[in-house]
Amino acid sequence: MTAFKNLMDFTRQTVALGQISGRLGWDQETMMAEGSGAQRAEETAALEGVLHARRTDPKVTQWLADIHDATLDQAGQAQMRLIREQHTRASKVPGDLAAEIARVTSSAQGIWAQARAAENFAQFAPTLERVIALKREEAQAIAGDGDVYDAMLQDYEPGTSAKEIGAMFDALRPRLVALRGKILGSETTPRALDRDFDPDLQMALSNKLAQGFGYDFNRGRLDKAVHPFSSGSGNDVRITTRTDPRNPFNCIYSTIHEVGHACYEQNISQDYLLTPVGNGVSMGVHESQSRIYENQIGRGAAYSDYLFGQMTQTFGDIGVADAEAFFATVNRVSSGYIRTEADEIHYNLHVLLRFDLERQLVSGELAVADLPEAWNARFEADFGVKVDKPSNGCLQDVHWSVGLFGYFPTYTLGNVYAGCLNQAMRKDLVGLDTEFAQGNTSRATQWLAQNVQQHGGLFESRDVIARATGGIVNEQPLLAYLEEKFGQIYNL
């Protein structure tokens, strides 16, 4: 067992350094001065060089060869599986390329933010071209004769392919489009909020809701960022949100969404701390946690009853008559521009748009210069609305600036997983709605912690969902949930 102990000791140091790199990213998004961007890019590149050297260290190759997996317990075998996958993948990427990707994507974040603020895509386009070229080079090195985009997907949802995801999306699209059509043709029109809401009070309420969902502030914090995100794992997991005086739901539901991510990381067994198993198994499973917290629980009729009371207590008269009307307002369907603010019907259409466009960018079928036109045309076709400015179009998301190609489809995959988990949870736990109406989510979040979160990377992603649901992993529970919920709200 000496080789295994040596490997794990070395790996824990590598994982710890990776956490430090993540903290640099958190700081850049929340606290760092604007003029520090160039230096931060160099710092990030230097640290990535160290990490890449450790991941490809010949000692790791030797330890992997010396260890017999059959002599290890279940957790040890999972550690070996993940270390071996990471080592093999990293070994195919030249160290100078890994460092250059880190440098360019770090500075690209700031360039994207400036271009977004200036509503000027041309200001960002050369940087995006550079990011795509570097990520394509990296993926080609990994894929060999295989598909480049599939190689990118493995960073976020190991074991899947664009063909598999595309087939699932093709099954989702017709019923989503049909449901959207029925809703928009309905005579029922839930009222939208139409007044200002103090940003400081939004943050105070969001802190309270985060704690109510089980987020441990002793091991984390909530800050503001341009694009809400969750960062870290184990005993240092940080979340961000954003405020808009005209849209408090943006802050509230972004917070609940990121709490789902954060609780996943906080609830992984402490036995796996600072090891490969001590992180969420995939972004699809990660999104299943954020989406079930945000939607099936947070936007459900019972919890919205509780939230209505909290909103009126915090802000006074919010312009909505009662809890029933508030439930409809929370779930109001409209063809908005912004993915993170989208209702549950349009959200997946946002993702499908990005999935198709990023595959075209990676393959070279779509030139970066033509991205705004392609985005705007697809958006108008799917949403029936013309994009009015780049920040409401192809500059709204941070993902491509930091090289996260292959990430977007995991959002809808997470919705599919959340539908399966919600169905199974409802079968196992009777009386949840009575508790949700009191703001008590503890039994639901404990069920998720026990059946999904505590395992971290112990099992492969589809196995995690299958074990929790009794084997059900398909899009049907999600579609049934959406059709029932919105059929009720819109009297379909």
DSSP codes, 12-44: HHHHHHHHHHHHHHHHHHHT--GGGHHHHHHHH
* Contact call for residues 83 and 102 (beta carbons, < 8 A): no
Give mean pLDDT, residues 435-441: 98
Our CA angle for 252, 324, 426, nearest 5°, is: 75
pLDDT at 176 over 80: yes
pLDDT at 23 over 80: yes
Within 56-147, residue ranges assigned H as helices are: 58-66, 74-91, 95-118, 121-143
pLDDT at 345 over 70: yes
pLDDT tens digits, one per residue of 133-157: 999 999 999 999 999 999 999 999 9
The CA–CA distances, whole Å, from 150 to 142, 238, 359 equal 10, 30, 10
Q: What kind and span of H or E run contains 276? A: none
| CA separation for the pair 442, 448 (Å, rounded) | 10
3 state DSSP class of 299 = coil
Cα 44 to chain centroid, rounded: 22
Residue 85 pairs in a beta bridge with none
DSSP 88-110: HHHHTS-HHHHHHHHHHHHHHHH
pLDDT value, residue 226: 83
Active-site choice (258, 265, 344, 358): 258
Give mean pLDDT, residues 366-387: 95
Give mean pLDDT, residues 294-302: 98
Query: What percentage of the chain carries pLDDT values higher than 90?
Result: 94
Cα 328 to chain centroid, rounded: 25
358 is catalytic: no
For strand 230-233 and strand 222-224, is the pairing parallel, antiparallel, or unpaired?
unpaired
pLDDT value, residue 47: 94
Sheet with 230-233, strands from edge to edge, namely 222-224, 236-241, 230-233
Between 325 and 227, residue with greater pLDDT: 325
Residue 422 pairs in a beta bridge with none
**Residues near 237 by beta carbon (within 8 Å), at least 6 away in sequence:** 219, 220, 230, 231, 262, 265, 266
* Contact call for residues 282 and 157 (beta carbons, < 8 A): yes
Give mean pLDDT, residues 364-391: 96
* Contact call for residues 263 and 453 (beta carbons, < 8 A): yes
pLDDT at 221 over 90: yes
* Contact call for residues 289 and 263 (beta carbons, < 8 A): yes
Task: Encode 355-402 in three state secondary structure.
Answer: HHHHHHHHHCCCCHHHHHHHHHHHHHHHHCCCCCCHHHCCCCCCHHHH
Alpha carbon distance, N-terminus to C-terminus of the chain: 63
Read off the pTM.
0.93
Reading the block at residue 108, the tokens are 């690209």
Closest of 30, 221, 231 to residue 113, by C-alpha: 30
Give mean pLDDT, residues 316-322: 96
Closest of 78, 17, 77, 8 to residue 48, by C-alpha: 17
Mean pLDDT score of the chain? 96
Residue 223 pairs in a beta bridge with 240
pLDDT tens digits, one per residue of 37-86: 899 989 998 999 999 999 999 999 999 999 999 999 999 999 999 999 99
pLDDT value, residue 1: 62
